[in-house]
């Protein structure tokens, strides 16, 4: 939760700086966001490569539960497609790109801003932060009424890090490995799916 508030704080600070015109126009017209995106992807790669214990733990996952990330991705995209029917002013690909963030707001919002502009990037940031907050606040209720796997699925890409403690508390310690595996797979899909839908 603290990390989400810090991200939102920097976002609001950026809006204030932009409104006050503190940044030169030449800086805004440059490819700074692209280089920041490359640096972020590099850091994500390092974190995955350094944590070999996560990769080894995947061997313990029940083969049937390996379909959980796929179902999370399919379910999220189906929900986004349904939402696009209600939001007539938004294209289907816009909704699918936002949904493809799966709670990974720091990465998906940068991609979407780069491809589709700051308005949609802002919506993606807020939508994915809301997904994380929903998991943090409602994990016990989700586990109680929809089953032990529900908080993991709702957590999306965050199920391997920020929401893992609350998911463990709500679903039980036997789902820790499943939650990490789920988060890893969904997390890995974000850059590919977001860029795919943004490019359509």
What is the structure's pLDDT at 177? 85
Closest by CA position to 174, among listed 155, 152, 158, 157: 152
Whether residue 136 contacts residue 154, with contact meaning beta carbons closer than 8 Å, is answered with no
Q: Given the structure tokens 């929900």, which residue do they identify?
A: 79
18-31 tens-digit pLDDT: 788 777 776 666 66
What is the structure's pLDDT at 37? 62
Domain ranges for the chain, please list them: 2-42+68-199
95-120 tens-digit pLDDT: 999 999 999 888 888 889 889 998 99
Other Cβ atoms within 10 Å of 23 Cβ, number: 12
What is the structure's pLDDT at 143? 93
Q: At what angle do helices 164-171 and 176-199 cross, to 10 degrees?
A: 130
129: pLDDT strictly greater than 80: yes
Residue 163, phi then psi, degrees to nearest 5: -95, 0
What is the structure's pLDDT at 197? 95
Burial of 25 (0-12, 13-18, 19+ CB in 10 A): exposed
What is the structure's pLDDT at 11? 72
146-162 tens-digit pLDDT: 999 999 999 999 998 88
């Amino acid at each position: 939760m603290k990390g989400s508030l810090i991200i939102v704080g920097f976002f609001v600070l950026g809006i204030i700086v932009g409104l006050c015109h503190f940044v030169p126009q030449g800086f805004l017209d440059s490819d700074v966001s692209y280089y920041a995106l490359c640096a972020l992807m590099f850091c994500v790669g390092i974190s995955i490569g350094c944590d070999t214990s996560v990769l080894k733990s995947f061997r313990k996952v029940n083969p049937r539960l390996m379909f959980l990330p796929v179902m999370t991705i399919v379910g999220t995209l189906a929900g986004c497609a349904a939402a696009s029917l209600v939001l007539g002013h938004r294209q289907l690909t816009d909704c699918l790109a936002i949904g493809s963030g799966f709670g990974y707001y720091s990465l998906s919002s940068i991609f979407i801003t780069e491809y589709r502009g700051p308005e949609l990037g802002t919506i993606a940031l807020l939508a994915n932060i809301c997904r994380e907050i929903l998991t943090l606040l409602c994990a016990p209720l989700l586990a109680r009424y929809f089953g032990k796997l529900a908080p993991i699925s709702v957590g999306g890409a965050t199920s391997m890090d920020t929401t893992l403690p609350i998911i463990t508390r709500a679903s039980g310690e036997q789902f820790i490995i499943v939650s990490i595996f789920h988060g890893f797979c969904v997390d890995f899909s974000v850059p590919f799916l977001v860029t795919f839908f943004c490019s359509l």
